[in-house]
Each structure stands twice: as structure tokens, then as C-alpha cells.
């Protein structure tokens, strides 16, 4: 009977400490969370719209990288490739 009592007291203590640690971590997360920016009013200047498609400089850089890679490989003719479509990815980095 004593062993069961000690087991229950030990497990209860461990769970209480774990709950306390979880609460501390949650409170620290709330205290140090990044502040949300204030909502802009209608009088503020609108953000410039991003043009559709990819800028020509980016397309030129991609084409130069592809050309250099294929030129460095042996057995691949220089005119052996054609890029038919370059489009913007739909995913965004979240970090």
C-alpha cells in the first residue's frame, strides 16, 4: 500500500511540475511575442503593385546560369535546349 501511495505522490508531483513549466513557457511566449503593426489608415500611400510576371533581369540571369551549366557539361550541344516557359512560383518563404 505504501508503494502505491509513493507512486501516486511522485507521479502527481511530476505532472504538476510539467504543467507549471508549460504555463511558464506559454507566458514567456506571450510576453516576448512580436508586436503586431498598427493598421494603416486610408490616408497612407498605397503600396506599389508588383508587376505581373518575372522581371527581364531575372529571366536573363536564369538563362545565363542554364547556358553556363550546359556549356560546362560534355556531350551537350550549345543549342540543345530551349526554355519555353518561365513563371513565378506560387509559394512564399515564411521565415
Pick the closest to residue 63 from 78, 47, 43 (CA basis): 78
Average pLDDT for 33-39: 76
pLDDT tens column, 47-58: 666 566 777 788
The reported pLDDT for the residue numbered 10 is 97
Q: Which residue has the higher pLDDT, 57 or 14?
A: 14
> Which carries the bigger pLDDT value, residue 71 or residue 16?
16
CA distance 61 to 67: 10
Domain borders along the chain are 54-88
Amino acid at each position: 500500500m505504501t508503494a502505491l501511495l509513493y507512486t501516486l505522490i511522485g507521479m502527481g508531483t511530476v505532472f504538476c511540475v510539467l504543467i507549471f513549466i508549460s504555463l511558464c513557457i506559454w507566458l514567456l511566449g506571450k510576453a516576448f511575442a512580436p508586436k503586431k503593426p498598427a493598421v494603416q489608415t486610408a490616408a497612407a500611400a498605397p503600396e506599389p503593385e508588383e508587376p505581373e510576371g518575372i522581371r527581364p533581369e531575372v529571366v536573363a540571369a536564369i538563362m545565363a546560369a542554364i547556358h553556363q551549366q550546359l556549356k560546362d557539361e560534355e556531350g551537350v550541344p550549345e543549342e540543345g535546349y530551349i526554355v519555353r516557359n518561365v513563371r513565378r512560383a506560387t509559394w512564399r518563404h515564411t521565415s
